[in-house]
């Protein structure tokens, strides 16, 4: 317990946690399960190039998301490039996407040879909305990327309507909403296609990897072709998922419900405890839908006096690896490629307000209690910490 301000690690005290606790999930499925799946590639002597485990994983993901098709990739990044390349309208140059989002998403669009046009976000969902998209659709719009935020979903049905009204393809980046439903329907089947990641920090840990789901057969064929270069003149990428990563992802998929049950316990405790601190709000999961309870995001309300950057420094010194939520927004970064944007005032204001807190597999209830006590202490001492 911290009693005086110099007990804070920021001022040289002992850190609250001996080993750092992370804002990433880092789920570790049972080793036995992973090794059991791994026997398949040992036996088959086929380690990559669409082996038995990759095929099984794609089948399992189709049933998990209730979609017709799934294609795995070596990363979420290349799954996104593959989807964009095969979906964007030919002869048009721009992709509408939010700026308050994943730090590499504009790079992905640029790799696909297109120009990001950043869209303002909705204040309530913190994500792209049909209203904001409609304002910036123009004759160069080749694709809309609906990115789900890290708590709950964006308005997928509203975006589908805009996409249909204007005849512009719609891709979802659903990396943060693997387990969610929207309006009662599982993610995976919205828009023309959806993209996911198996990066170790995500809900399903496949070390690295990604996949695309779709219900469109001709798109599926094109994406399959894109994912592997045949060396005979057809230009694809060498972007396959390997068997070992598929073994890890299959193990994670087997255990996903236990993982979510753990996340729910952690989220409930954060909500209960932090409801007693009036200057901080825990972003609420929409429990009318199915949800992963994975990410814990705090909003620092106007009553909270310590600047966010200082707070994050203080927490990091205690070995609590909190981070700012999607900061800086992409339009404020120095990109080496062209980007287009107008006034993004809401994005800029929102980008200053939120922090990510430790969550996922390795966070215990006892850790949440310690974090809560620390916040109480920091808040009490705010006047000397500003
Ligand atoms: C992590 C992430 C990606 C990229 O996935 P990788 O597998 O790491 O390439 C894309 N979009 C969002 C929203 C992400 O969080």
Buried b (16+ CB within 10 A) or exposed e, 52-87: ebbeebbebbbebbebebbbbbbbbbbbbbbbbbbb
255 ligand 1 Cβ < 6 A: no
| CA atoms 47, 53, 58, 61: torsion sign | negative
102 ligand 1 Cβ < 6 A: yes
d(CA 162, CA 176): 22
Which pLDDT score, from 0 to 100, does residue 386 have?
85
Q: Answer for the pair 70, 212: CB distance below 8 angstroms, yes or no.
A: yes
**136 to each of 94, 96, 166, how far by Cα in Å?**
11, 8, 12
Residue 78 CA: which ligand 1 atom is closest?
Answer: 9
Residue 77 alpha carbon to ligand 1 centre in Å = 6
Collapsing DSSP to helix, strand or coil, 333 comes out as coil
Which pLDDT score, from 0 to 100, does residue 268 have?
98
Q: Which residue has the higher pLDDT, 281 or 334?
A: 281
Q: Nearest residue CA, atom 7 of ligand 1?
A: 76
176 ligand 1 Cβ < 6 A: yes
Residue 76 alpha carbon to ligand 1 centre in Å = 5
Q: Cα 14–15–18 angle (5° rounding)?
A: 110
Average pLDDT estimate for 348-364: 96
Which pLDDT score, from 0 to 100, does residue 242 have?
98
Which pLDDT score, from 0 to 100, does residue 25 have?
76
Q: Which residue has the higher pLDDT, 331 or 384?
A: 331
Which pLDDT score, from 0 to 100, does residue 24 have?
87
User: Would you say residue 374 has pLDDT above 90?
Assistant: yes
Confidence of residue 228 (pLDDT cuts 50, 70, 90): confident
Average pLDDT estimate for 119-131: 97
197 ligand 1 Cβ < 6 A: yes
Which pLDDT score, from 0 to 100, does residue 175 have?
98
Convert the pLDDT of each residue in 261-305 to its tens digit.
999 999 999 999 999 999 999 999 999 999 999 999 999 999 999
194 ligand 1 Cβ < 6 A: no
Convert the pLDDT of each residue in 90-110 to its tens digit.
999 999 999 999 999 999 999
DSSP-derived letter for residue 253 is H
Most informative mutation of 73, 76, 107 for ligand 1 (most atoms within 8 A of CB): 76
d(CA 199, CA 193): 19
Convert the pLDDT of each residue in 31-81 to its tens digit.
999 999 999 999 999 999 999 999 999 999 999 999 999 999 999 999 999
User: Would you say residue 148 has pLDDT above 80?
Assistant: yes
172 ligand 1 Cβ < 6 A: no
Which pLDDT score, from 0 to 100, does residue 125 have?
96
Confidence of residue 1 (pLDDT cuts 50, 70, 90): confident
Which pLDDT score, from 0 to 100, does residue 253 have?
98
160 ligand 1 Cβ < 6 A: no
Provide the percentage of residues in the chain whose pLDDT is more than 70: 99
Residue 201 alpha carbon to ligand 1 centre in Å = 9
Is 4 exposed, middle or buried (CB count within 10 Å of its CB: 0-12, 13-18, 19+)?
exposed
Residue 209 CA: which ligand 1 atom is closest?
Answer: 7
Average pLDDT estimate for 194-203: 97
């Amino acid at each position: 317990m911290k009693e005086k301000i110099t007990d804070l690690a920021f001022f040289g005290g002992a850190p609250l946690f001996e080993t750092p606790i992370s804002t990433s999930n880092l789920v570790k499925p049972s080793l036995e399960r992973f090794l059991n799946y791994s026997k398949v590639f040992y036996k088959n002597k086929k380690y990559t190039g669409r082996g038995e485990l990759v095929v099984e994983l794609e089948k399992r993901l189709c049933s998990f998301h209730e979609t017709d098709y799934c294609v795995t990739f070596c990363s979420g990044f290349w799954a996104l490039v593959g989807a964009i390349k095969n979906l964007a309208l030919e002869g048009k140059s721009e992709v509408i996407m939010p700026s308050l989002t994943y730090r590499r998403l504009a790079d992905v669009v640029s790799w696909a040879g297109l120009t990001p046009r950043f869209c303002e976000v909705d204040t309530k969902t913190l994500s792209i909305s049909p209203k904001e998209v409609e304002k910036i659709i123009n004759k160069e719009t080749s694709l809309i990327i609906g990115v789900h935020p890290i708590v709950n979903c964006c308005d997928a049905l509203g975006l589908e309507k805009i996409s249909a009204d204007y005849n512009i393809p719609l891709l979802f980046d659903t990396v943060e909403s693997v387990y969610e439903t929207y309006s009662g329907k599982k993610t995976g089947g919205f828009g023309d296609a959806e993209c996911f990641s198996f990066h170790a920090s995500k809900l399903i840990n496949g070390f690295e990897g990604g996949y695309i789901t779709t219900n469109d057969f001709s798109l599926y064929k094109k994406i399959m072709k894109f994912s592997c270069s045949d060396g005979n003149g057809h230009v694809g990428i060498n972007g396959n998922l390997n068997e070992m990563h598929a073994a890890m992802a299959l193990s994670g998929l087997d255990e996903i419900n236990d993982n979510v049950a753990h996340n729910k316990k952690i989220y409930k405790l954060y909500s209960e405890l932090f409801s007693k601190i009036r200057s901080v709000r825990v972003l609420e999961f929409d429990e009318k839908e199915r949800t992963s309870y994975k990410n814990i995001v705090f909003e620092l309300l106007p009553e909270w006096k310590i600047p966010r950057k200082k707070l994050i420094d203080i927490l990091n010194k205690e070995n609590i690896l909190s981070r700012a939520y999607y900061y800086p927004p992409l339009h404020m970064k120095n990109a080496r490629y062209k980007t287009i944007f107008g006034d993004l005032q809401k994005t800029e204001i929102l980008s200053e307000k939120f922090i990510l807190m430790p969550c996922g597999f390795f966070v215990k209830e006892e850790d949440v209690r310690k974090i809560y006590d620390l916040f109480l202490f920091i808040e009490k001492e705010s006047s000397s910490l500003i």
